[in-house]
Structure 1
Amino acid sequence: MENSLLLDVGDYFFTIFHSLLIVFNLFAWIWKPLRKWHLWTISLTFASWGILGIWYGWGYCPLTDWHWDILQKKGIYNLPNSYISYLIARILKLQLPASMVDTLTLLLALAALILSIWVNFFKNKKA
């Protein structure tokens, strides 16, 4: 019983924390006080996807890996490769094609990275 409660707490923690991180990565470049933090988090996200991805597979995220461990201990299997696919299915009850979710995830993350670089280094710079 105690172990089940800890798994539930871990599940909710990762669902909330990871979702907030995704929203932060997409939109925090907009608000000036968060721009430097945003550049760090979006850069770490891409580093995880690319550098850790060399060893664990393209798009690897340790938060997803840890959450999947918890869900599997709860008896939940057949999880998608993409955390975004999981969130869409869990929250919106939609099953979208993995290729579409992966493409949109990458495009939106790249847009957020480019915008973050622009607002941190080029916007309002005087010659």
Structure 2
Amino acid sequence: MVRKKNLLSFQKNQSLYLMDDVFLRIVNIFFFVFHSALIIFNLFGWLFARIRKINLITLLLTFGSWVLLGIWKGWGYCFLTDWHYEVLKRLGQSNLPSSYIAFLVERITGWLPSVGLTNTMTLALAILALVCSLWVNFISKKKSNQY
């Protein structure tokens, strides 16, 4: 009787582990899709008139995370990256790059860009997207109202 109880206990723990593993894999896919979509939206959302305000908000939230949360967590801190990396670590991955962009580039192409290149390109493109978003949300509206 004791053996059956131990066997059942083992099976129960194993099924909980499998459920946890399945859940982590689903969360990993969610973060990969959501975070990638957010990056693309931040870069190009300003192009579409109907979603320009939302794009500006997400860009400001992104810069807010990088700068304001960065005061405590380090420059460029992104809570989505932090959460996703925690899931990846629980799935057994290690030696993850410090940048989510570098992670994406490596995942998609197999090439891991240098930290300097990644940070420079990420910041340059994010600033360009913010300038474009500010332009279409405020400056171009003023010019069109003048005519």
TM-score normalised per structure 1 = 0.97
Question: Which residue does 1:47 correspond to in 2?
Answer: 64
Instruction: Give the RMSD, CA atoms, in angstroms.
Output: 0.8
In structure 2, distance between residues paired with 1:35 and 1:106: 20
Q: Percent identity?
A: 47
Task: State the secondary structure of the residue aligned to 2:38.
Answer: helix
Task: State the secondary structure of the residue aligned to 1:80.
Answer: coil
Larger Rg: 2
Task: Report the number of matched residues.
Answer: 127
Greater helix proportion: 2
Question: Which residue does 1:76 correspond to in 2?
Answer: 93
Deviates more, 1:85-94 or 1:23-32: 85-94
In structure 2, distance between residues paired with 1:81 and 1:96: 11
How much does 1:95 deviate?
Answer: 1.4
In structure 2, distance between residues paired with 1:12 and 1:116: 29
How much does 1:124 deviate?
Answer: 3.8
How much does 1:93 deviate?
Answer: 1.1
Question: Which residue does 2:54 correspond to in 1?
Answer: 37
**Gap regions ≥5 residues in structure 1:** none
In structure 1, distance between residues paired with 2:72 and 2:89: 22
Question: Which residue does 1:96 correspond to in 2?
Answer: 113
TM-score normalised per structure 2 = 0.84
Of residues 75, 97, 114, the one that matches 1:58 is 75
Residue 121 (str. 1) matches residue 147 (str. 2): no
Amino acid of the residue matched to residue 48 of structure 2? W
